[in-house]
Amino acid sequence: MKEFDPRLNAAWWALRIALGLGPIIAGVDKYFNKLADWAMYLSPIATKLIPVKDTTFMHVVGVVEIIAGVIVLTRWTKIGSYIVGLWLLAIAANLLTTGMFYDLAVRDVEIAVGAFALSQLSAVREGLLSGAGEKQTAPQPS
């Protein structure tokens, strides 16, 4: 079994911790609004489409974020990072339709790129740990 390059391992752990804890912290704060008044980031389009109050919707969003963060921190990091990345792209789309918060939308797209990088690092790491990352050679004829 080949070992995952220690330099890449450090990057993998940094991304894994940040992309795992970030959504958990933001998700929990959807209930307390200490970091931000999260409902203000909802697009007018979203507020017209969702059949519940803004705060109820943000509580559901918080649960999704907590679950996504936990998945990143488990053995399903690759899948969790795809979920976090797609979720961030959806948040960016929502922010773009507000008519403001363009800077936050760009930031979320950039974090989504980081989530994609984590998924790719995880795929390589999983391949090496399972032995699939080793080069297979065809048997030589005698």
SS (H, E, C) the chain: CCCCCHHHHHHHHHHHHHHHHHHHHHHHHCCCCCCCCHHHHCCHHHHHHCCCCHHHHHHHHHHHHHHHHHHHHCCCHHHHHHHHHHHHHHHHHHHHCCCCCHHHHHHHHHHHHHHHHHHHHHHHHHHHHHCCCCCCCCCCCC
* Domain contains 141: no
In a domain, 142, yes or no: no
Q: Flag whether 121 is in a domain.
A: yes
Do 109 and 95 meet the contact criterion of CB atoms below 8 Å apart? Answer: no
Task: Tell me the pTM.
Answer: 0.85
Note the pLDDT tens digit of each residue in 96-128: 999 999 999 999 999 999 999 999 999 998 887
Residue 44 is assigned to a structural domain of this protein: yes
> Per the structure, how many domains does the chain have?
1
In angstroms, the CA 132 to CA 83 distance is 24
pLDDT score of 128: 78
140 within a domain of the structure (yes/no): no
Q: What is the pLDDT of residues 52-72, one digit of tens each?
A: 999 999 999 999 999 999 999
Q: Which domain holds residue 14?
A: 6-130
Whether residue 21 lies inside any domain: the answer is yes
pLDDT for the residue numbered 138: 45
pLDDT tens digits along 76-88: 999 999 999 999 9
Torsion of CA 8, 14, 20, 22, to 10 degrees: -140
Look at residue 137 and tell me if it is in a domain: no
Indicate whether 139 belongs to any domain.
Answer: no
